[in-house]
Chain A
Amino acid sequence: MDLGGRGSVRASFDPAANLRAAGSPRAGATPITRDVPMTRRLVIGTRLARTEPRPPTVVVATIRLLVLTGVVSLIIGCRLVPAASAPPVAFGTDVRPLLTKLGCNSGGCHGKAGGQNGFHLSLLGYEPEDDYEAIVREARGRRLFLAVPERSLLLLKATGTLPHGGGRILAGDSDDYQVLRRWIAQGAPPPRASDPVVQRIAVEPGNALLSPKTHQPLRVSAFLSDGSQRDVTRLALYESNEPSVAEVSATGVIETQARGGLFAVMVRYGDQFAVVHGTVPFHAERSAVATQPPRTWVDGMLRPQWQRLGIEPSPPADDATFLRRASLDICGTLPTSDEVRAYLSDRRPDKRARLIDRLLERPEYASYFALKWADILRNRGAGYSTSQQRAGTSLFAAWIRDAIDANMPYDQFATEILTAVGTQESNPPTVWYRAVRTSQDYVESISQTFLGVRVQCAQCHHHPAERWSQDDYFGLAAVFARVGRKGGFADAEVPTSQTIFLADEGRVEHPRTKRVMRPQPLGGAPFALSRYDDPRQSLAHWMTDPSNPFFARTMANRIWGHFFGRGLIHPIDDARSTNPPTHPELLDALARDFAASGYDVKHLIRVCCNSDAYALSAVPNESNREDHQSFARYYPKRLSAEVLLDAFSQVLDAPTDFSGGPGKFPRGTRAIDLPDEAVPNTFLDVFGRPARSSSCECERVSESSLGQALALIGSPLLEQKLNAADGYVARLSADARPVTELIDELFVRVLARPPRSDEVAKARKFIESAPDRRASYQSLLWSLMVSAEFLFNH
């Protein structure tokens, strides 16, 4: 904008600008934002508000702009301030955010360690003093030309006037250019302690209910320490967590896509964040709200969102599907034919709750969840080739399994691991300290495993999407500074069989300031400790306190994610203010309930599994087909490697031979009972058995691959089972009962449901017409076992 040829003008929305709707919304209707075509726009007047004596001239004018649409008129106020007299440009609040906005200090450019072509900025501008040095002083000051700002290398490069590897990122006639130019013209003032700092930012609207294919501009305000407020919409950065639902432009305009769903837009300005929570209904609001009150409080907390999104839940799954689902989810085990028949003929109204109770008491429950925890706790076997080296792995595996079998309260479980001292024989959780050995390991494993947050970024720089700083990172590392180790043997990948104890000495320094860090919890004040206290005890206390904002929530989210196929926070160990839960009230309620139960994990599982939501069919209806966030149906999961292999063994009555590793395993050992991930088995590796090298559950791959498909078709392992001399196929082909009876049994055994009549007919025709009975049963079984119905829990 140009004001009388006197240079550019800074225009921003007046905070008092208002939006007046002609008429009020219908009573009872949910206000929803839609795009309305603007039919007329006209400036209805500018008013000179105030002139101040020179020098310099300050003109504050108000332009009133009337936009007429069918239903809404909009009056926008602007304050125009001539550039020459605008307030001084501050490095911290003007220049630095601009460098971030333009991408100069991004990880791909000058922000990466080592910078780019000799020019290094701190990543995303978290070290303004260093950045000022780099821009103003380094390279003999040649980056700025104070006398003729336009000839500063900084501007010449950014505008592409001189060759610039990053291309032209700044237009010479842009307002952003003027900000930088004016800063240089003002003598490139450094950041000063007295400069106001941004204390928080706010984004409007914070919650948005938007139609598909509509636009919603955002407004971001920064609140400064001097009490002032400014509009930083243009300087803020925006990122949508669900671009398929809504995208956001660099200028802060949300554009919803054709489909419905939930999304969040992260807004970043400097080191401050704000989040917009958005909902785009799939369908117009449904008037037919469920007539029955929700049966459980979990269901009650899912429903409002279905209503907002305009979707209806799928109907409940049938009994056979539910039995298979719960058996696989709780015990990692297929139901047997007998279990299927007994369950289907059970007429008691509470049979689902009884089933869940029964499953939770089975040894397979402990095995299956111990496998999950051994992954998370990185109880590795690889790297320890002898059984002596690997004894610790087996001891820890057994300890985990016993703890789960005894339903050890989760706070105790975490505390015993976290504060372990002693030897692997006297106290197996000390084995956790074998895989977790460095400051980095401690901080990242604890954070991700028990607190559900990823702080990796903060090791080297301020987390770009969270409040975590290097202080948080190394303060938490200091908790473990006195973990002592002695003894053990060092002939393996990492030393084994060490004694873990509290050493007298040990410290962690901040890598930049070299300050010795005091032990502190994540986001909290340093612990008050005497030299006789183990800081890990304080951390465990802090963590397991029912008011802890992370601990119970993380486990509640983990368990929810296990059963519902997606965490309320997704991914489950990536809680951030910028990655909000889809159902915050539900997550809070689950966490509170879990803590109040005395951290009773079986209780938490019962709460999840006894909900109606868990029993919904996976088959979508018209309204919830596209939805993958609101649990209006069951989201299918591919059977994990161990579960799938065990399922083949169970169906074909032909156990897998596991050899190698820490010892010989007795015939009939199941894959979910293996003590570690290094027992050789190609099938398990191909289907995503994790290497246990990180505490992220995402290490277990559920993605499909060509290797998996090839393994299903030509795996010697599966072929051996189909050909086992005393296996199911052998018995089947020798069985004299009528074929239809055998087919019925076969379907129940494989798919945990009776066959449909068309399936019986097809199977019968095939079996009876085939010359080789045995081969035909093999073909039938194979086709059922590699069908999606078998490979997935649904």
Chain B
Amino acid sequence: MPAERHSTQLPGGTITRRQLLQLGVPFLGLGLVDVLRARASAASTSRRRGLIVFWTHGGMSQQDTYDLKPDAPPQFRGMYRPIATTASGITITERFPRQARVMDRLSIVRSVHHGNAIHAPSAHWMQTGYFGPTLARNAPQKPSFGSVIARAAGARVADMPAYVTMPKSEAFGYQGAVYLGAAYQPFEVGADPNATDFRVSNLTLPRGLSIEAVRTRSAMLKQFDTLRRDIDTSGVLEGLDTFKAQALEMVTGERVREAFDINQEDPRLRDRYGRHLYGQAALLARRLIEAGSTCVTINTGYWDHHDNIEKGLEQQLPPLDTAIGALVEDLDLRGMLNDVLIYCAGEFGRTPLINGHAGRDHWSNCFSVLLGGGGLKGGQIVGASEPRGGDVQDRPVTPQDVLATIYRVLDIPLDLHLRDASGRPVSIVGAGKPIHELF
């Protein structure tokens, strides 16, 4: 394939052989061309944007957070009062005071829906934009948006992992690459950045193996790795060489390890983010985006509050609020807010009516997601739910619309199709359209 052997001039700049290899080139034909075009497009903007995701697996209650119904009967209303924000006319839960301070820079979409109320298919909906698995057969079928971003946009700075999940990927496996291949799987941090002994297992050498020993081995490898490279034209061999060099750099070099070294942050800033998983993960996410990652997903635990929802929310809402609020302020201070998109969502919301166990159940007919930064308009409300929250009243938004919005912010062409295992080109957004009110 000549495209692999030489650099290819594209409108957006030169694609190097190495970048091509990072794409992986399993299928010839349109898929590759499309991906190249996507990369060129993503590279053509002067500042490629990054994405930080707060994933509320299990389903966060919209009615207790971003879409309160203070005038509804008590069994719908919930326990929290609304508070005013810096965005005129927008109120959110009283448990979100930090976000209230920066609401002029964030927007809420209150009319997302997909109609499925089971965790697995719903998580697949929101992570991939497609319906797919069922409860009984829950293997992932489509790549996550993070993997699509890794494939289409790559890392913003070479040697950094393009797509990172922390502390780990969500357990259903819908944050993976599926048919895009192992190269686009998320890089799992694998540890809680709030822990005092926080270390990234993938970058941490096994006990007894020193960095010095790795350097010695690496020097040995250079001497003995003499197989002729021209025997393989498939790209696998050169790809592995590239990744070996990158991995050695990550393990023995300073830059990547420094990006992951959250201890380098001012303790006062760490305090502002909050000394908990959510806060420190948000801060680490900012460090990684700064160093060159493109998509960082923070998994914020389990929000499946069927029983005693108040107890669960009291534990989870304040740290989430601190993390998001501090992140917005920090990005803004650093002049990065237009370059980093913030997205908070789960697979669905929760039933408007409080059940007999003082909890709320699964609800996907209408729920809210949060978007902000990345050059999007702040202080906006898109769509509306019915007075008691049940269904979309105005401006329905699909999971594919949300993903189209994210891809548009990251300059990934919305007509990009990636080939599945059968060779069929699959659209990254289906019928989705960016939420134009936010641009």
Contacts and interface: CB of A to CB of B under 8 A. Distances in A.
Contact of B422 (A257, A259, A454, A494): A454
A243 B430 CA distance: 26
A699 B421 contact: yes
A785 B26 CA distance: 26
A511 interface: no
Contacts of B182: 686, 688, 701, 703, 705, 707-708
B24 to A, nearest CB: 5
Contact of B240 (A239, A638, A780): A638
Nearest to B244: A709
B236 A704 contact: yes
A638 B223 CA distance: 21
Interface string B238-261: 011111101110110000000000
12 contacts: A114-B431, A618-B232, A619-B231, A638-B236, A638-B237, A704-B21, A704-B240, A706-B243, A706-B246, A713-B251, A719-B208, A786-B244
Contact of B29 (A241, A382, A625, A783): A241
Q: Which of A382, A688, A706 has the most CB of B within 10 A?
A: A706
Contact of B217 (A618, A688, A782): A782
A244 to B, nearest CB: 5
Contacts of B216: 779
B226 A704 contact: no
A674 interface: no
Interface stretch (B136-144, B295-303, B360-368, B369-377): B136-144
Interface residues of B, number: 67
B1 interface: yes
Given A719-B206, A775-B213, A789-B227, A707 B185 contact: yes
Contacts of B2: 244, 257-259
A112 interface: yes
A703 B181 contact: yes
Contacts of A705: 181-183, 185, 243
B423 A693 contact: no
B3 A703 contact: no
Q: Which of B21, B33, B205, B231 has the most CB of A within 10 A?
A: B231
Contact of B246 (A258, A454, A709): A709
B29 A707 contact: no
Interface string A690-703: 01011010110111
A712 interface: yes
Interface in B181-225: 181-183, 185, 187, 202-206, 208-209, 213-214, 216-217, 220-221, 223-225
A759 B423 contact: no
B220 A780 contact: yes
Contacts of B187: 706-707
Contact of A716 (B138, B206, B213, B226): B206
Contacts of A766: 220
Contacts of A112: 427, 430-431
A723 B209 CA distance: 11
A116 B237 CA distance: 43
Given A688-B182, A719-B208, A762 B244 contact: no
A780 B209 CA distance: 15
Contacts of B424: 456-457
A756 to B, nearest CB: 9
Interface string A495-514: 00000000000000000000
A792 interface: yes
A114 B398 CA distance: 14
B161 A706 contact: yes
A779 B220 contact: yes
B422 A759 contact: no
B231 A706 contact: no
B417 interface: yes
A494 B139 CA distance: 12
Contacts of B230: 619-620, 625
